[in-house]
């Protein structure tokens, strides 16, 4: 597994991360096998959130690997906070309480990266800054980031922070390419030219913020998987053609398409199937040509101006 540099080289992370949202559906032995396979494949970055299965996903993760200092030092653990039942909460009190809960469930003394989970329009950035300072000074959190935030939302928050935001987790797949489309259709009177995210792709590259791609196999908003889906015949034909040529599974090509972008985007894959995880990890062995990348992009129904 290839590595990517996060936080200007302070973190050396696997270019593919394992998302642990559904890990609570597994038994302890099944979860242990999944995590062990990830580590064997070279994955060292694991993504959590306090709301995943109401915190049970974090608990199962720690139980499955028998968390100990020897195990912990091999892992980069990321978790998220801010989503509550029916509303968002970036208050100082909630952030601090959420982290304490995650630390307890994960059986660890520190979180490598804490993300604010989706924007909270009632956010008071001074409160967030105070919470982050307390968490960093106490050693409970080493780095901070956000999820699904625009460039101006990040700018607003950053104005008050003493700690640089190093990650922005955003939805991206070959069928969800809004952040790419707008950059390819500048000065065009077409829907694809609409910039809904504040040039977030270019902004994150300028600010050395790593983009993490969530749901790299989904189309729409959790409407289903595009691979082997009759709704996307041309896309699957092209992906399967390239997969056969490179002797890898189609899942590897879907992830390799994201990895090919020079922004060094880190896909978060949420599979709980061991074989599928091994197939996905083959993406790290594949480098798509520029022509192949654009062929897949166009096969998804995108038009170049």
Instruction: Report in angstroms the alpha-carbon separations of 295 from 44, 87, 284, 289.
Output: 31, 41, 20, 10
Q: Percent of the chain beyond pLDDT 90?
A: 98
CA distance 279 to 296: 19
What pLDDT is recorded for position 266?
Answer: 98
Domain ranges across the chain:
3-299
Q: 30 exposed, middle or buried (CB, 10 Å; 0-12, 13-18, 19+)?
A: middle
CA distance 54 to 81: 12
Cα–Cα nearest to 121, from 89, 155, 81: 89
Is 297 an active-site residue? no
Written out in words, the top-level CATH class of the domain with range 3-299 is alpha beta
What pLDDT is recorded for position 222?
Answer: 84
pTM: 0.97
In angstroms and rounded to an integer, the radius of gyration of the C-alpha atoms of the chain is 19
What pLDDT is recorded for position 61?
Answer: 98
What pLDDT is recorded for position 32?
Answer: 97
Instruction: Report in angstroms the alpha-carbon separations of 237 from 106, 231, 242, 276, 293.
Output: 42, 12, 9, 20, 14
What pLDDT is recorded for position 221?
Answer: 86
Averaged pLDDT in 10-residue chunks for the chain of 305 residues: 97 98 97 98 98 98 94 96 97 98 98 97 98 98 98 98 97 97 96 95 98 96 94 98 98 98 98 98 98 98 96
150: left (phi over 0), alpha (psi -120 to 50) or beta: beta
What pLDDT is recorded for position 84?
Answer: 96
Q: What is the pLDDT of residues 240-276, one digit of tens each?
A: 999 999 999 999 999 999 999 999 999 999 999 999 9
Q: 29 exposed, middle or buried (CB, 10 Å; 0-12, 13-18, 19+)?
A: exposed
């Amino acid at each position: 597994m290839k590595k990517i540099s996060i936080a200007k080289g302070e973190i050396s992370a696997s270019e593919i991360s394992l998302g642990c949202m559904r890990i609570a559906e597994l038994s302890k032995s099944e979860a242990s096998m999944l995590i062990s396979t990830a580590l064997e494949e070279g994955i060292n970055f694991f993504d959590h959130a306090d709301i995943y299965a109401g915190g049970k996903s974090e608990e199962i993760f720690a139980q499955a690997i028998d968390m100990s200092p020897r195990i912990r030092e091999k892992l980069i653990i990321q978790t998220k906070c801010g989503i509550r039942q029916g509303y968002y909460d970036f208050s100082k009190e909630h952030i601090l309480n959420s982290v304490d809960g995650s630390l307890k469930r994960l059986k660890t003394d520190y979180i490598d990266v804490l993300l604010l989970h989706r924007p909270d329009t009632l956010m008071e950035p001074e409160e967030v800054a105070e919470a982050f300072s307390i968490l960093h000074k106490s050693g409970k959190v080493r780095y901070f980031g956000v999820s699904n935030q625009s460039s101006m939302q990040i700018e607003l928050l950053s104005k008050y922070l003493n700690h640089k935001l190093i990650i922005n987790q955003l939805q991206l797949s070959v069928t969800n390419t809004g952040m790419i489309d707008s950059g390819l259709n500048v000065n065009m009177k077409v829907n694809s030219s609409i910039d809904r995210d504040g040039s977030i792709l270019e902004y994150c590259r300028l600010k050395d913020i790593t983009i993490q791609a969530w749901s790299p196999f989904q189309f729409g908003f959790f409407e289903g998987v595009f691979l082997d889906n009759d709704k996307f015949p041309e896309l699957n034909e092209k992906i399967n053609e390239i997969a056969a040529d490179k002797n890898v599974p189609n899942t590897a090509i879907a992830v390799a398409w994201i990895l090919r972008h020079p922004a060094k985007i880190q896909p978060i894959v949420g599979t709980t199937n061991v074989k599928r995880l091994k197939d996905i990890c083959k993406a790290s062995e594949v480098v798509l040509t520029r022509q192949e990348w654009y062929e897949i992009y166009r096969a998804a129904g995108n038009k170049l101006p």
